[in-house]
Copies of this chain bind each other. A is one copy, B any other.
Amino acid sequence: MGVIHRFTGNKDKFDWEEVDVQSYNSSEIKGVIKKVLVGPKEGAPYFVLRYFEIEPGGWTSLDEHSHDHGVFILKGEGKVLLGQKEYKVKFGDVVYVSPNEKHQFKNTGNSPFGFICVIPNKELVK
């Protein structure tokens, strides 16, 4: 059965009904939260749709793995490392991170940097 998660936030703070938040802060990932909007809890068998938000000065971990990412920037300003090169991104930009491509997202602005990030269900990944 379908699910609707109502947006309960505003332009500064993105929140949804019945969506949990996970926070990440370590030597490898700084000032990052994740909200799983569609995934196992919704019964989705093939993909996971997540919202990430990085605080000013924060970054995601430097990653390289067999699954890919489909990213849509929703707010703020940041940089994405793809392989050896960094690119500036802002609202509406779409980033595709290929399987096994080194990548990292950084907030380079003064406000939260938020984006949607799709991954496959990892059980399907070759």
Contacts and interface: CB of A to CB of B under 8 A. Distances in A.
Interface of A: 1-7, 9, 14, 16, 19, 37-38, 42-47, 49, 67-68, 70, 72-73, 80, 82-83, 87, 89-99, 101, 103, 116, 118, 120, 124-126
A43 B83 CA distance: 16
B67 A46 contact: yes
A71 to B, nearest CB: 8
B118 A6 contact: no
Given A68-B46, A118-B49, A5 B38 contact: no
Given A9-B92, A72-B37, A118-B70, A97 B46 contact: no
Copies in the complex: 2
A101 B42 CA distance: 13
B1 A98 contact: yes
A2 B96 contact: yes
A100 to B, nearest CB: 10
A90 B92 CA distance: 17
28 contacts: A1-B98, A2-B83, A4-B80, A4-B82, A4-B87, A5-B96, A7-B90, A7-B93, A16-B92, A16-B94, A19-B94, A37-B72, A38-B70, A38-B96, A38-B118, A43-B96, A43-B98, A44-B70, A45-B99, A45-B120, A46-B47, A46-B67, A46-B68, A46-B124, A46-B125, A47-B70, A47-B118, A72-B116
